[in-house]
Amino acid sequence: MQVRTRIIAATTILHAAVGTAVATAVTGPLLAVDDLAYLSMGRTLAGGGAAPLGPQPPYGFLYPVLLAPGWALGLDEPQMIVWARVTNAVLGALLIPVLLVLVRRMTDASFGRSLVAAVIGASLPAALLTGSIVWTERLLPLLVAVAFLLLLSQWDRPSSTTAGAAVLTAIALYATHPRMGPTTVVVIAAVVVGFLRERRGRAGAATAFAGIVGIVATELVRRAVATATFASSGTYDELELISRRGLSETAEMAVHGGGTVAYLVLATAGLAVIGAVVIVNGRRGGAWYLAMVAAVVAIAGWFLTGVDRSDAYLHGRYIEVMAPLLVALGVVGLAALPRRFSLRLVVGAAVVAGIYGAWAGPGDVWTRPRSPVMMLGTEVGGAPFGGDFFEPGAATTMALLVGVALVLARRRIWTTAIVAAAAVTLAVFSGIEALDQLQQGSVVGQVQMALAEIEIDEIVIDTGRVPSNLAGAVAWEVGFDRVSAGIDPGTTHLLLPSDAAGPADATLVVELSGGSLWSLR
């Protein structure tokens, strides 16, 4: 047992080191205002005051809690990026022991095969690459896996302690990101149903009540942190979003939800499908994981409706948090299921998903750049090594190649590991190239190049009219502490909307996308 514990510990530490190396290899530091919002909330929690960003959409507060210690230690902006990337790598590595326990509880796989499956599940290219971005995408998969592990424990041996831990973990999901609300409800409902099956109605009622109280309390804390950071609890709320979605959009929601599932199939080279089969044939309570997946698919279809971007029809960011366990179980299922069945399942699922993706999106949607978040067996941000566009045919081809290779290597676990490692390595290098190109063309990249030779002592930003991505990028590049709300004797520059003229004594320095920089000296 001690030897196995040491192997798990060494593997986890090595994975964290590799994850940190990949994250720091990506040009950065930032891609979107999401990163800035989480960093700003962490800074506020550490006592750094409000952020000069203006109102933002709802963001969870649990991930900023992990960033706050870095600010409290006095780290500056570049050092905070390193802090976030190391934190992300550690969170991703901690998924390995959790997946290992889950695989062993749900299958009769050996320790070695379970460990390899857990490492593959925790090493999806998108997981390693988004570790370079200050997002919740490394915390959420860990919480999802822990929540399901607690559910299995509760179904095996019901107890108030395990139930309480499961409910707390479910609430932590919501505290990490509001979009995980439906998944939170599924986990709490699973605990309640488990108590009802044991004819413990009072315990079930108490669990439901605790879950409702926890969700409400979490929302109140989220609003308080957001208000302290952005002077607004959020630019929209759940009721407002519901009002934007009517029955007339039901078909479009279904199309986007199906695209999310198709993405999961292609981006995991079909392993997720085999993992789902293992869950269905596995232990009591395993189907709750598929209910958690369904909750994510539903919220993805709901949010993506009306969104005009190329990755809305094969969208991965939401569903990726559910993929690690499905992939890990898929690796085990490759050896447990008949080869012909696995081959037909992998090939058939990939072809159907590719056809669906080609059918779902408008004709010109694949000619536009898309989000650089793809997974095992599929290109990152386009064709391998930084192509400018992504389309279902390329994704299907890559998924088939990797999937068939994995099926052929299924009996020898180390051959499976080598094939998976090759696919991950190719996708990671491709993703680094794609992220570098995206960074160069992004608002943040443009700001970094434009401000490289400009010395700014203190800047005033019109956050009410300047686009949030631009305002955030300039505020980050200059430094939060050098951004002020109004002109004072120390102000040297202004960031104004593109259609606004500067003061009489101001000089136009540079035109940016959505704004212009003026010098007061």
pLDDT (tens digit, 9 = 90+) per residue, 368-384?
A: 655 444 443 344 444 44
Residue 169 inside a domain? The answer is no
According to the model, what pLDDT value does residue 372 have? Answer: 42
Residue 469 inside a domain? The answer is yes
Sheet holding 493-497, edge to edge: 483-484, 459-461, 493-497, 515-519, 507-512
According to the model, what pLDDT value does residue 388 have? Answer: 54
According to the model, what pLDDT value does residue 85 have? Answer: 95
Q: Is the pLDDT of residue 111 over 90?
A: yes
According to the model, what pLDDT value does residue 468 have? Answer: 81
* More confidently predicted of 268 and 379: 268
Q: Exposed, middle or buried by CB within 10 Å (0-12, 13-18, 19+), for 202? A: exposed
**Residue pLDDT, tens place only, 208-267:** 999 999 999 999 999 999 999 998 888 777 676 677 677 778 899 999 999 999 989 988
**Residue pLDDT, tens place only, 438-462:** 677 677 778 888 887 888 888 888 8
Average pLDDT over residues 341-355: 94
Residue in the structure block whose two tokens are 């995408």: 137
**HSE-up (13 A, CA, CB side) for residue 40:** 29
- State the angle between helix axes of 413-441 and 443-450 in degrees (0 to 180), rounded to the nearest 10: 50
Q: Please tell me the total count of domains within the chain.
A: 1
Give the contacts of 220 (CB within 8 A, at least 6 positions apart).
Answer: none
Report d(CA 333, CA 69) in Å as an integer. 41
Strand partners, 494: 460, 518
According to the model, what pLDDT value does residue 387 have? Answer: 53
Nearest in space to 139 (alpha carbons), one of 9, 320, 269: 320
According to the model, what pLDDT value does residue 369 have? Answer: 55
Q: Is the pLDDT of residue 356 over 80?
A: yes
DSSP string covering 82-99: HHHHHHHHHHHHHHHHHH
pLDDT band, very low/low/confident/very high, at 156 (cuts 50, 70, 90):
confident
Strand partners, 510: 517
Report percent pLDDT > 70 for the chain: 91
Residue 454 inside a domain? The answer is yes
Residue 51 inside a domain? The answer is no
According to the model, what pLDDT value does residue 374 have? Answer: 44
pLDDT band, very low/low/confident/very high, at 165 (cuts 50, 70, 90):
very high
Give the sign of the dihedral formed by CA 294, CA 140, CA 230, CA 503: negative
Residue 468 inside a domain? The answer is yes
Residue 130 inside a domain? The answer is no
According to the model, what pLDDT value does residue 366 have? Answer: 66
Q: Exposed, middle or buried by CB within 10 Å (0-12, 13-18, 19+), for 505? A: exposed
Residue 44 inside a domain? The answer is no
- The boundaries of the domain holding residue 466 are 447-519
According to the model, what pLDDT value does residue 300 have? Answer: 92
Report percent pLDDT > 90 for the chain: 48
Omega cis (within 30) before 372: no
Q: Is the pLDDT of residue 68 over 90?
A: yes
Nearest in space to 378 (alpha carbons), one of 521, 262, 480: 262
Pairing assessment for the beta strands 515-519 and 493-497 based on DSSP bridges: antiparallel
Residue 87 inside a domain? The answer is no
pLDDT band, very low/low/confident/very high, at 288 (cuts 50, 70, 90):
very high
According to the model, what pLDDT value does residue 373 have? Answer: 44
Nearest in space to 269 (alpha carbons), one of 371, 397, 383, 389: 397
According to the model, what pLDDT value does residue 238 have? Answer: 67
Average pLDDT over residues 492-511: 86
